[in-house]
Amino acid sequence: MNNKKTALISMSALLVIVASGCGSDAGTEKPSGSATTANKNKDVSIMMSYHASLEQFQGSDNMNSNKLINIIKEKSGINAKYEALPKDNPGQKVSIILASGDVPDLMRITGKSDYFKLAQQGAFEPLDELIKSSIPNLNAYLTPEIMDSTRLDGKIYGIPHRVAQKVGAGILMRSDITKELDLKDPVTVDDFYATLKTIKEKKNLAGLTAAAANPGAFTTSFLPFASAYGVDTRTVVKNGKLEFSVLQPEYKEFLTTMKKWYSEGLIDQEFSINKDVKDRMINGTSVFSTSYWADAFTIDKSMKDKKTSGTVKYITPITGKDGQSGVPEEAVVGGSYWVIPKQAKNKQGAAEYLNYVIGPEGDQLLTYGIEGQDFKMENGKPVQTAEQSNAINWRTLYFFGDTDPSFFARLGAKGFLPFYEPLIPFKRNREETVFSPSVEAFDSKSTELRNFGEENSLKFIMGKRSLDEFDKFVQEYNAKGGKAAIDAMNEWYTKKK
């Protein structure tokens, strides 16, 4: 109760200060530190999110003094000073900081809803002019579509923290077991069913395992199978409008298939209470699972450490009757945003520093570290061992996002690439609402609706609720706010087109 009261007081104070600032120089559109003249103020304060890497510094090193940040300060010409938000209740702290008037020059805001809410309240500097004049590296860093997704009333108020990962998971297969049974990689839904039947008959195994015990886990575990019915994303486009996937006839078809597989013992009978699938894949008590690339690495490594003959590989997502298939594209925007508060003292310096860090030189420093210490050059290319990469793991806390070269370099150094790269060619299905602004009626109901959909999907598959009640489920979903949510989102989507 006290936390809520503090947050309300802080937000009220923020509104008063923002409103009073609108009549002063601090509230004008022009950023302090003219973009057309050299910026003499080289002190830039940065407020980052809490990062586990903060606990990894050794000796006298800290976030403001270590071999990498010292070089970045020298080469950028900016004296950057970092602070971190608390691990708990960071949103409340953000409100207090913005309301106080003693703000950093650059700040990370987590969550689409908070970003748009605070931008609407006038807490942030519009960035369009600063981007044009002082952040040219942004053109190669983020696409116009991603930048447009941050606009409020036509203006950009934040720069999304870039996500380099394109895809997270796929159907992982114990290829040694399918080879033993002389089974080819399944291509279609029917092929997959036939493969599971053979595994059941010859090995007495439930070939497909999943972990659906935690909120959100059911959706993730069955995404490649739902994609064969065109319903693996949160929403689908029908007749020029967005509709919730879980309410579509195709989703009922997907559930019908999964129920059949489950009732025949082809799906792990404990999938609804499983919190993990790695042990089952390692021990060979299951043959298929939807697994993230990092988990595939762990499974493979464990089997090698135990000196078993087990092998794993990703198979191409299975296709449905209409040729539909794929995996969901990872959300590239909406997680967090870098903003310059309206009352920041050095807006120009903040822009220049951000531009340096996301540029080629800054990115290479944060990717590999220092040549001769953290990597070496071979045939004109940086080479870094897992030990060298791990020794400077804390470097990621300075990221304003992730570039593709940096992401691939870190995966390569740690041995993850053989498990990530096979996922890249797979068809990726895009979720349109990722690119929407914050829509209150949609965002506020998102978790509740997801949980309700998963809860009933489990019941349908396990026979605890008859699929004859699917239409009733649709009505219940809409009554819980589903219809209002999708109608509100379509106000944005239909105008976007």
CATH of the domain at 127: 3.40.190.10
The reply to whether 19 falls in a domain is: no
Rounded Cα distance between 490 and 241, Å, is 6
Mean pLDDT value across residues 451-458: 98
Read off the tokens for 285: 């008590």
The reply to whether 175 falls in a domain is: yes
Residue 48: phi and psi, rounded to 5, are -100, 165
Read off the tokens for 467: 């699929």
Grade residue 332 by pLDDT with cuts at 50, 70 and 90: confident
Closest CA to 221 of 331, 334, 335, 328: 328
Q: Do both 373 and 298 map to the same domain?
A: no
The reply to whether 28 falls in a domain is: no
The reply to whether 35 falls in a domain is: no
CB atoms within 10 A of CB 396: 15
Instruction: Name the H helices within 22-78.
Output: 67-76
How much is the mean pLDDT over the chain? 91
Q: Do both 292 and 342 map to the same domain?
A: no
The residue written with tokens 């970045």 in the block is: 72
Q: In this prediction, what percent of the chain has a pLDDT beyond 90?
A: 87
- Looking at the predicted structure, is the pLDDT value of residue 447 above 60? yes
Q: Do both 409 and 294 map to the same domain?
A: no
Rounded Cα distance between 48 and 83, Å, is 6
- Looking at the predicted structure, is the pLDDT value of residue 12 above 60? no
Mean pLDDT value across residues 334-352: 96
418 versus 52: which is more confidently predicted? 418
The reply to whether 434 falls in a domain is: no
Structural domain including 139 reads 41-164+334-413
pLDDT tens for each residue of 183-204: 999 999 999 999 999 999 999 9
pLDDT tens for each residue of 222-246: 999 999 999 999 999 999 999 999 9
Q: Do both 52 and 148 map to the same domain?
A: yes
Residue 63: phi and psi, rounded to 5, are -65, -20
Read off the tokens for 295: 């988990």
Give residue 69's pLDDT: 97
Give residue 497's pLDDT: 65
Number of domains in the chain: 2
Q: Among 350, 378, 413, where does a domain finish?
A: 413
Residues in the chain: 497
The reply to whether 340 falls in a domain is: yes
Mean pLDDT value across residues 476-489: 98
Give residue 111's pLDDT: 92
- Looking at the predicted structure, is the pLDDT value of residue 386 above 60? yes
- Looking at the predicted structure, is the pLDDT value of residue 9 above 60? no
Q: Do both 139 and 285 map to the same domain?
A: no
Give residue 38's pLDDT: 56
Grade residue 496 by pLDDT with cuts at 50, 70 and 90: confident
CA angle centred on 61, ends 56 and 65, rounded to 5°:
120
Q: DSSP code of 481?
A: I
Give residue 188's pLDDT: 98
Judge whether 149 and 333 are in contact, CB under 8 Å.
yes
Q: Do both 155 and 239 map to the same domain?
A: no
Q: Do both 179 and 284 map to the same domain?
A: yes
Q: Do both 82 and 177 map to the same domain?
A: no
Q: Do both 199 and 310 map to the same domain?
A: yes
The reply to whether 429 falls in a domain is: no
pLDDT tens for each residue of 93-127: 999 999 999 999 999 999 999 999 999 999 999 99
- Looking at the predicted structure, is the pLDDT value of residue 10 above 60? no
Give residue 41's pLDDT: 84
Q: Do both 189 and 240 map to the same domain?
A: yes
- Please give the biggest Cα pair distance in the chain: 78
Give the DSSP H or E segment for 52. none
Q: Do both 178 and 272 map to the same domain?
A: yes
Q: Do both 198 and 77 map to the same domain?
A: no
The reply to whether 98 falls in a domain is: yes
Grade residue 6 by pLDDT with cuts at 50, 70 and 90: very low
CB atoms within 10 A of CB 36: 5
